[in-house]
Amino acid sequence: MPGPATMTVVGIVVLAVLVAVYLKLRQKDMLGALMDKRRPTARVVSRADYVEGAEKIPVALSLTSDSLYYENSDLEASFDLQRLDEIEYAEDLATGKTLHAGARVLRLRSHGAAFEFVLDDQDAKKWMAALPPRSYGNVTAHAV
């Protein structure tokens, strides 16, 4: 029979796993609520990962006629579509890091800064239709 120290360690590990699972499920529920809030006025709504350095932050990504929103329980941010210089879809991050199969990057550039969102392929197709790629100097050719 295991000793009290072993049982304590096992209990702490189990508790840590349960807390991690709970937090992950809670975050998904919160993203779902944010997506439901935006859905009535948005053209496209999906889950995405906002990539900031090496960190991937789960967000609810939504597009209205004049803005793009990315939100989670800790973050409320948006872009005015007129302020976007470039919109591109890629298969790798700006850092050169490749994505898992079935994922694409939505990369936005505004005033020299790049913002990247990892989408699954199905969502990326919806985003491409609603927010077509465009490059600097060719902004009016693909006006949204």
Query: How many structural domains comprise the chain?
Result: 1
Residues 6 or more apart whose Cβ sits within 8 Å of residue 92: 98, 99, 105
Q: Of 48, 63, 77, which is closest to residue 132 (Cα–Cα)? A: 63
Which structural domain range is residue 130 located in?
A: 4-142
Q: What's the pLDDT score for residue 140? A: 45
pTM listed for this prediction: 0.74
Q: What's the pLDDT score for residue 95? A: 83
Q: What's the pLDDT score for residue 126? A: 96
- CA distances 66 to 24, 96, 97, Å, are 31, 30, 31
Confidence band, pLDDT 50/70/90 cuts, at residue 27: low
Q: Of 36, 60, 40, 54, which is closest to residue 123 (Cα–Cα)? A: 60
- On average, the pLDDT of the chain sits at 84
How do residues 80-132 score in pLDDT, each as one tens digit? 999 999 999 999 898 888 788 889 999 999 988 999 999 999 999 999 999 99
CATH number at residue 108: 2.30.29.30
Confidence band, pLDDT 50/70/90 cuts, at residue 5: confident
